[in-house]
Structure 1
Amino acid sequence: MHGAIDLGARQAAAKKQQERQASAGTSAAPAAPGAPGAGGGGGAYVIDVTDQSFNTDVVERSRTVPVLVDFWAEWCGPCKQLGPILEKLANEAAGKWILAKVDIDANPALAQYMQQMGIRGIPFVAMVVGGQMMPFMNQAAPEPQVRQALDQLMQALVQEGILPEGGLPEGEPVEPVEAGEPQQPQADPMYAEVEQALNAGDLDAAKAAYQRILAQTPQDPDAKRGLAAVELSQRVQALDADAVLRKAAADPGDVQAQIQAADIELVSGRIDEAFDRLVGAVRRTAGDDRDAARKHLLALFDMLPSDDPRVAKARRGLQSALF
């Protein structure tokens, strides 16, 4: 679950907002909790989720059953291709996981939250388990590919000990059960400092906390990945993703444009595309430009575990481009 987004902070903020509305006498009636079959039109295990019901229908529900969240919009063609596939698989799973659908046009608070997390486009699908959200898919794909990816994700959750083999008995909570609960090896107080900074949206403080961890334990792989992720978020904050990608496509020889485009692709989950882009930049260029592309690619490798097959593939591509 390292790298997952903890939804506890969002839940706490929403609760405080509700309390302020109640004290001001402007509280609306709470949305009825969603239930399998309560909306979505996609079967017994598909629900529609709103700004008001997200904490109940997704965050709280994820403590007893995994919830796959599909962010979509009526104007999004790929969403219309992916949505029915997810609905079919949810009904086949028969309660082993629930599909929650979020129309971002009808739910501006959730759309804004997506942007704050660095998610820049739809379709976007995430798995929420124990209050933790993990990116899953960001593009449409054929049913066999979606089915395989989902099976691999569920197997990984079992292997990590987050889900038991064969799924959860009815009513049994998912681990971890408390939002924000420290996870190994994040029991260190310095990791609590990182978590606090990230929940507050203070990337500078999170970066400084990771740097302090690495000053004490330079080989800590989680701190290395965390620092790389924070630095990536800082770099892409001020970028116009569409403009960057257009510029990179128009001028393959502009190494800085290729570097920025690779950052955009990586934060969007298009990891192979980001790595291939920089390998291509190394192959096409020489001198300082080539060295800049090479160093940036090596820095992006820190975002993933060293044994990730995508890193191994990109390292082979880099060696081929250099020699």
Structure 2
Amino acid sequence: MQPRNMSMSGVVDLAAVKAAGEAKAKAEQARAESARQGGTPAVPPSALVIDVDEAGFESDVLQRSTEVPVVIDFWAEWCQPCKQLSPVLERLAAEYAGRFVLAKIDVDANQMLMQQFGVQGIPAVFAVVAGQALPLFQGAAPEAQIRQTLDQLVQVAEERFGLTGIAVDADAAPGAAPEAAAVPVGPYDALLEAAVQALDAGDFAGAVQAYRNVLVDDPENPEAKLGLAQAELLGRVGKLDPQVVRKAAADAPADVRAQIDAADLDLVGGHVEDAFGRLVETVRRTAGADRDAARLHLLGLFEVIGSDDPRVVKARGALARVLF
């Protein structure tokens, strides 16, 4: 089974799942009851990844989803892509530290659940938020794409249902906490300096390559990730004719390529909110591959500005409202 994206805008019809409004009310009631009882106790890291079967689905997934988003990993022992994807999801569950819980469902032993969710092939990943089921993606997707999807999921869970996750007691189970990140091979000062010099000289291709050289050894290096996003943006914009791009974007609001190019120009020109707003509107107007292209490009522009920037936070919320 080749990896393919599944639209995040659909909702799976399960007999056990309540309507969205009822689900939200249920989530609010659960939080109120928890508050009256002194709050939900912290869970050990081992509780962030659970095996679920048909008998426990109601309590382990539906009820739990009133407190925290539950990501479901449909897998099987014989499935080789599953063996690539599952460890990534388990590691991210630990890294996200209670912002979602990972439920693993063996399709061979739980055919009814597989049918209820309409699973066509595995690995397949869904989420349940306040009793509402959403398809996320299918296949062993790249980790960067998985992170973007999870970021959107936890934000929607918080904004629409007030689900901020569960507390994790890292000391509850010695040795179960996420392993400390390995010390990067480094140092990367020379490569990073070379990238900056290439940027200053207008050699965007050289800067891109220098940043990628750092990321080969240290994939999470924040300076290299940010620099790469900026260098790629500048490289794209350098090939554009602003007048042609602006006219094309104005004449064809539904032309995804034109809107992407115009958003790049907006961002480089300092019009950050205009760039974000343009692509959010493009996502709203489009569907299928065009919508995915606009969404993924917008997520890439978020990387250029930085996830903590208030403009990014605001735009993520707008994007989530359009998608869901």
Coarse TM-score class (shorter-chain normalised): 0.3 to 0.5
TM-score, normalised by the number of residues in structure 1: 0.41
TM-score, normalised by the number of residues in structure 2: 0.41
Q: Which has the higher contact order (CA 8 A, sep 6+)?
A: 2
